[in-house]
Amino acid sequence: MLGALLAATALGSRSAFAQTDPLASWNDGGAKQSITNFVARVTAQGGPDFVPPAERIATFDNDGTLWCEQPMYVQFAFILDRVKTLAPQNPAWKTEQPFKAVLDGDMKALAASGEKGLVELMAVTHAGMTVDEFAKIVTDWLTTARDPKFKKPYTELVYQPMLEVLAYLRANGFKTFIVSGGGIEFMRPWSEKIYGIPPEQVVGSSIKTRFEMRDGRPVLFRLPQVNFIDDKVGKPVGINEHVGRRPIAAFGNSDGDLEMLQWATMSGSGARLGVIVHHTDAEREYAYDRQSDVGKLDKALDAAAVNKWTVVDMKKDWKRVFAFA
Amino acid sequence: MLGALLAATALGSRSAFAQTDPLASWNDGGAKQSITNFVARVTAQGGPDFVPPAERIATFDNDGTLWCEQPMYVQFAFILDRVKTLAPQNPAWKTEQPFKAVLDGDMKALAASGEKGLVELMAVTHAGMTVDEFAKIVTDWLTTARDPKFKKPYTELVYQPMLEVLAYLRANGFKTFIVSGGGIEFMRPWSEKIYGIPPEQVVGSSIKTRFEMRDGRPVLFRLPQVNFIDDKVGKPVGINEHVGRRPIAAFGNSDGDLEMLQWATMSGSGARLGVIVHHTDAEREYAYDRQSDVGKLDKALDAAAVNKWTVVDMKKDWKRVFAFA
């Protein structure tokens, strides 16, 4: 009993870490060291960079930072599958764009439908049901959907080294948040189980909802109207709205994370950690940066050099990418 | 050392409660009992109503539920004071409504300026500065402002029995959230110190902010545009957006809390607790309900009877109202 209590305390955890490496999937090197050095500094009681636990906020982008975002965002794969599932009830889609493009697998026609097309696809796949119904649709889809490269459930395509960072930070008194351009309600059904991040610590893009009574029970109904885009300049706004504190550490992988990393590292005083996951491993995952449509990393890579953010070289810094490889 | 560790655990806390009453400022009776019975049910491991700690979410309205909202909302007193503070830099306000009304103390003219007037007052007092600057303005104001009846700092006009409920729920594994129609950034600077509720667990109304770089440092600038109204049907929407789980307990005091209590208690299965603080004590605080402009309690009082929500009779159920009386 006492042993269990001790193990549950930060003190117990630190003792355990003296024996086993909390970042076991990381190769020794500058990237790993910058993370462990930062944590040592902000947790050193009486040290010049000590940060009280309540202020140890770390924010993580999701797509490309915590899980794989290639060859397309997982949420986009969900949209395509969902359109196919709903097609029998919507015979007109056989001839109407952008639905026809999805059903024909015609990615060129789909791209041509542009933002207007995407908004229409979002409306029919993400709105028109209650929040509980949508959570169930997402959960059910994830159990059957497989990615095209590894043929695995998407929730297995999470980066093992990043899971270790999440656990390591939490063991050191941090609160970990997801701050993603992806849909907040698309992540919440599984973020706790997969990342150990509870729904109240997930920040993302959202559509509007409406409270109403149905058969004497209150529901929140999802509307086809954008509420908030949690990307680029939206990320600091979303962080402020949901967290109300400035993070002292932020992890991203693309230009969509630039402002979040600026917000976390360039304001306030004291130790700060900015980390960019650079996808350099075409063999074990994908290699892409400045020219990529998905997860373009250009401005933020330049900013990393200027601001002394840590750039993780996936190929060099990670012993393994996924739990299964 | 071991003693301190034990005391920090829920087990330790429960042992302590066997000796001292966690709700010491509550008179024995139905209201107190409904709270302790609910907590006993949802924390009884193996019992039919057991709720895992992660799902023990409790939401609290702020004005009139956690602190005094009469004779006017504290945030409204802040607006009036702030206009007076800014008046010397804005000489035109001497003749322009709604500012003239504020400076003359002419509440009738102020009321006549309606929603349009309030929006103008909000714009000059709540927007046009960074979020950090606004937090400092609020913090500074609270140190000097005094309420008209008790001549106390507003942060001393928090209800001692409700502070005990917050601590009691947290000691029993609950996460406590504020869900208020008031401004989210108006509450966050002091909610942790006064209520033990960290900024990331505060939900409220908000204006829009814009990310920008100033002198090479990122700031969030507050804009004179409404972002979200966290009142009435907005409360379940705000809860879903920020918490992403349904509360199992909700505390309010006015019709603005009706939908929050419905959302918490009328959906899902298992034990639920809805509580309404009824202001019945004109001597120690204020007595008001169906006819009040501030904190009107009419529909929600009727709904309490139908839905078996607990109605707290302030005069009868509370041994004391404030820590000082």
Q: Work out the pLDDT band at A14, boundaries 50, 70, 90.
A: very low
Q: Which residues in chain B have their CB less than 8 angstroms from residue A187's CB?
A: none
How far is Cα A317 from Cα A30, in angstroms, rounded to an integer?
A: 9
Q: Give B94 to chain A, closest Cα distance, Å.
A: 35
Asked if A135 reaches chain B (Cβ–Cβ under 8 Å), the answer is: no
Query: Can you give the pLDDT at residue B292?
Result: 96
CB contact under 8 A, B175 and A200: yes
Q: Which position has the token pair 């024909």?
A: A104
Q: Do A220 and B237 touch (CB under 8 A)?
A: yes
Interchain pair A218, B263: CB under 8 A: yes
On whether ipTM exceeds 0.85, the answer is yes
Using H for helix, E for strand and C for coil, what is the string for B178-232? EEEEEEHHHHHHHHHHHHCCCHHHEEEEEEEEEEEEECCEEEEEEEEEEEECCCC
Q: Is A56 exposed, middle or buried (0-12, 13-18, 19+ CB in 10 A)?
A: buried
Q: How far apart are CA A91 and CA A101, in angstroms?
A: 14
Higher model confidence: residue B19 or residue A77? A77
Predicted local distance difference test score (pLDDT) of residue B64: 98
Residue given tokens 């990237």 in the structure block: A31
What average pLDDT does range A212-232 have in this prediction?
96
pLDDT at B325: 79
> What's the rounded Cα separation, in Å, for the pair A45 and B119?
46
Confidence of residue A325 (pLDDT cuts 50, 70, 90): confident
- Measured between CA atoms, the residue of chain B closest to residue A192 is B54
Q: Do A192 and B54 touch (CB under 8 A)?
A: yes
In tens, the pLDDT along A53-69 reads: 999 999 999 999 999 99
Instruction: Dump pLDDT digits (tens) for A151-175.
Output: 999 999 999 999 999 999 999 999 9
Average pLDDT of chain A is 94
pLDDT, tens digit (0-9, with 9 covering 90-100), for A273-315: 999 999 999 999 999 999 999 999 999 999 999 999 999 999 9
Largest CA-CA distance found in chain B, in angstroms, rounded? 68
- Taking the mean position of all CA atoms in its chain, how far away is CA A192? 12
Q: What is the pLDDT along chain B (325 residues), one digit of tens a residue?
A: 344 444 444 444 444 445 699 999 999 999 999 999 999 999 999 999 999 999 999 999 999 999 999 999 999 999 999 999 999 999 999 999 999 999 999 999 999 999 999 999 999 999 999 999 999 999 999 999 999 999 999 999 999 999 999 999 999 999 999 999 999 999 999 999 999 999 999 999 999 999 999 999 999 999 999 999 999 999 999 999 999 999 999 999 999 999 999 999 997 779 999 999 999 999 999 999 999 999 999 999 999 999 999 999 999 999 999 999 7
Beta partners for residue B211, in sequence order: B220
- The pLDDT confidence band at residue A247, using thresholds 50, 70 and 90, is very high
pLDDT tens digits for range A96-122: 999 999 999 999 999 999 999 999 999
